[in-house]
Structure 1
Amino acid sequence: MSNPEALRQQLDSIMSQLMTTEDAANLWGLSQVRVKDLCTAGHIIATKRGNTWLIIKGQDSPKQRDRS
């Protein structure tokens, strides 16, 4: 049987590497709708689970990429 505490720690580790569209919008200075649109278009590394986009932290801001 798996150790529940070890599984919680593993989940916490995974979740610490993800952010929501709200988090990303605040971080990048974009609207949440714009972040969702970028996720849908594949311009942001993210996956959708249910109605929630989970976005990998540490990506360059889409604003920075647009300037390059």
Structure 2
Amino acid sequence: MTRDEKFGRVLAIADVLGERTLPANKASISSRYSGDFARHPEKVLKWIHEELIAYNHNWGDREMLLFEYLADEIAGLETDEFNNTPLSGKYLQAVMSKRAELNNLISADQAAKKWDMHPSTVKNYCAKGKIISTKIGKTWVIDGMQPNPKGIVDEEDE
């Protein structure tokens, strides 16, 4: 993954977290910071981070999960990538792609209800890579747009 893509993913997660946290009369993070972010990503990311933290009293479980996800993405940047070298326009594609993905995320419990499965089964499928998912901390986050995996047969069961 390129540096532009990594920073784009970071901005998308911060934007979604901001939508869920910031006052309704406040413009979105991406609309306020996108241009500056492209020119000075390290500096502007610091501003965004400080703004989000200032509203952490509004966070519930989903917002904490998004913040953990944001932290994981920032941690995924190599030390030499975390600087103010301008981003190319390609970071925008990563922003839009990640936003679309975030809009479809559901928890393992939500997936279990949707697919009429036990939550433990869903988590086991996640761990085995049979469900498109990401682990953030101790929580599985699942792409809710994928088809019902009920037809999956464990190799151990064959």
Q: TM-score, normalised by structure 2?
A: 0.34
Deviations 1:25-66 (A, max 9, x none): 000000000000000000000000001101011101011456
How many positions carry a matched residue from both structures? Answer: 63
Give 2:150's aligned amino acid: K
Does 1:32 find its partner at 2:54?
no
In structure 2, distance between residues paired with 1:7 and 1:38:
35
Q: Which has the higher strand share?
A: 1
Give the aligned partner of residue 59 of structure 1.
Answer: 146
Q: 1:45 to 1:13 in 2, by over 3 A?
A: closer
Give the aligned partner of residue 6 of structure 1.
Answer: 28
Structure 2: unaligned runs, 5 residues or longer: 1-14, 19-26, 31-95, 154-158
**Which structure: larger Rg?**
2
Which aligned segments of 4 or more residues in structure 1 are displaced greater than 2 angstroms?
A: 12-16
Q: 1:46 to 1:23 in 2, by over 3 A?
A: same
In structure 2, distance between residues paired with 1:13 and 1:58:
11
In structure 1, distance between residues paired with 2:148 and 2:127:
16
Helix, strand or coil at the partner of 1:26: helix
Q: TM-score, normalised by structure 1?
A: 0.74
In structure 2, distance between residues paired with 1:41 and 1:17:
21
Tell me, yes or no, if the aligned pair for 2:101 and 2:143 is still in contact at 8 Å. no
- RMSD of aligned C-alpha atoms? 2.7
